[in-house]
């Protein structure tokens, strides 16, 4: 499964992040950490059930294990498209599906072609709730005259 991520600059940075996650998850060393977590969870469940005198309630532990296996064991391909510098576009394979889907969904929300203008082109209102910006103009102007 392929997930597309669009960025305006920083494509190489995203590629390094995804490659780091692939390096951590790829060799299976995290499974030891998962086994320790499951062991501690089982110990906690058994102590709670012994303290309360109730049956062992394993549904939260099974739900957490199933969520982990669904989110991290299947892998996907992430296609990073840098629209500002196309030379930084990249394809990263074997990214965990949970991370790839989260990144793809969050990138797909809203209009894709929303660009922000340069601050020099911004216009600020002189009245209303944002009129506080007008009293910063004289100090900033005098500071730039002193510096330059």
Residue 142 lies in a domain: no
Residue 37 lies in a domain: yes
Mean pLDDT of all residues belonging to the chain: 77
Q: How many Å apart are CA 142 and CA 148, to the nearest integer?
A: 10
Residue 89 lies in a domain: yes
Q: Per-residue pLDDT for 36 more than 80?
A: yes
Residue 116 lies in a domain: yes
Least confident of 54-63, 64-73, 89-98: 54-63
The model carries a pTM of 0.62
φ/ψ region of 100 (left if φ > 0, alpha if ψ in -120 to 50, else beta) reads alpha
Helix (H, G, I), strand (E, B) or coil at 17: helix
Domain assignment of residue 47, given as a range: 2-123
Nearest to 91 by CA among 79, 83, 81: 79
The total number of structural domains in the chain stands at 1
For 73-96, what is each residue's pLDDT tens digit?
Answer: 889 999 998 888 889 899 999 999
Residue 143 lies in a domain: no
Q: What pLDDT was estimated at residue 91?
A: 96
Residue 146 lies in a domain: no
Residue 32 lies in a domain: yes
* Tokens coding 45: 């469940």
Q: How confident is the model at residue 116 (pLDDT cuts 50, 70, 90)?
A: very low
Q: Count CA within 13 A, CB hemisphere, residue 131.
A: 4
Residue 136 lies in a domain: no
């Amino acid at each position: 499964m392929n997930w597309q991520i669009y960025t305006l600059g920083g494509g190489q940075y995203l590629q390094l992040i995804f490659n780091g996650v692939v390096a951590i998850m790829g060799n299976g060393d995290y499974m030891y950490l998962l086994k320790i977590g499951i062991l501690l969870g089982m110990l906690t469940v058994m102590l709670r059930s012994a303290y309360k005198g109730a049956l062992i309630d394993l549904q939260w532990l099974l739900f957490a294990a199933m969520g982990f296996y669904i989110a991290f064991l299947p892998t996907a391909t992430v296609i990073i498209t840098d629209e500002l510098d196309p030379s930084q576009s990249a394809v990263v394979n074997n990214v965990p599906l949970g991370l790839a889907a989260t990144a793809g969904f969050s990138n797909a929300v809203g209009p894709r072609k929303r660009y922000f203008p340069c601050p020099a082109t911004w216009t600020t209102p002189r009245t209303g709730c944002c009129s506080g910006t007008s009293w910063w103009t004289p100090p900033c102007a005098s500071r730039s005259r002193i510096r330059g």
